[in-house]
Amino acid sequence: MRCTVFGTGYLGATHAACMAELGHDVVGVDVDPGKVAKLADGVVPFYEPGLEEVLQRNLAAGRLRFTTDYSDAAAHADVHFLGVGTPQKKGEYGADLKYVHAVVDTLAPMLERPAMIVGKSTVPVGTAAALGVRARERAKVDVEVAWNPEFLREGFAVQDTLRPDRLVLGLDHGRERSAWVQEHIREIYADLIAAEIPFLLTDLATAELVKVSANAFLATKISFINAVSEVCEATGADVTMLADALGYDARIGRRFLNAGLGFGGGCLPKDIRAFMARSGELGADHAVAFLREVDNINMRRRTKVVDMAARACGGSLLGANVAVLGAAFKPESDDVRDSPALNVAGMIQLHGAVVTVYDPKAVENSRRVFPTLNYATSVSEACDRADVVLVLTEWNEFTALTPTDLDPVVRSRSIIDGRNCLDSTAWRAAGWVYAGLGTP
Query: pLDDT tens digits, residue range 26-68?
Result: 999 999 999 999 999 999 999 999 999 999 999 999 999 999 9
Using CA atoms, how far apart are residues 337 and 76, in angstroms rounded to an integer?
Answer: 34
Query: Residue 80: exposed, middle, or buried by beta-carbon count in 10 A (0-12, 13-18, 19+)?
Result: buried
- Break the chain down into helix, strand, coil percent, rounded to 5: 45, 15, 40
Residues 6+ apart with CB under 8 A from 219: 263, 268, 269, 272, 291, 294, 295, 298
Instruction: Determine what percent of the chain is predicted with pLDDT higher than 90.
Output: 99
Query: Residue 256: exposed, middle, or buried by beta-carbon count in 10 A (0-12, 13-18, 19+)?
Result: middle
Q: What positions carry a catalytic annotation? A: 267
- pLDDT tens profile 155-207: 999 999 999 999 999 999 989 899 999 999 999 999 999 999 999 999 999 99
Annotate 358-416 with DSSP letters as a single string.
Answer: E-TTTHHHHHHH-TTSEE-SSHHHHTTT-SEEEE-S--HHHHT--HHHHTTT-SS-EEE
**388-400 mean pLDDT:** 98
- If one looks up domain 2-197 in CATH, what number appears? 3.40.50.720
Using CA atoms, how far apart are residues 116 and 122, in angstroms rounded to an integer?
Answer: 18
pLDDT of residue 43: 97
pLDDT of residue 379: 98
Residue 108's SS3 state is helix
pLDDT of residue 399: 98
Q: CA dihedral in degrees (381, 382, 387, 393; nearest 10)?
A: -150
Task: Give, for 131, the enclosing helix (H) or strand (E).
Answer: helix 127-138
Q: What CA–CA distances, in Å, run from 92 to 89, 103, 288? A: 5, 23, 17
Residue-range domain boundaries for the chain: 2-197, 243-436
What is the band of 92 on the pLDDT scale with cuts at 50, 70, 90? very high
Identify the CA nearest to 437 among candidates 251, 300, 296, 293: 300
Same fold, 2-197 and 243-436: yes
Q: Does the pTM of the predicted model rise above 0.85?
A: yes
Instruction: Determine what percent of the chain is predicted with pLDDT higher than 70.
Output: 100
- pLDDT tens profile 254-280: 999 999 999 999 999 999 999 999 999
- If one looks up domain 243-436 in CATH, what number appears? 3.40.50.720
- pLDDT tens profile 203-249: 999 999 999 999 999 999 999 999 999 999 999 999 999 999 999 99
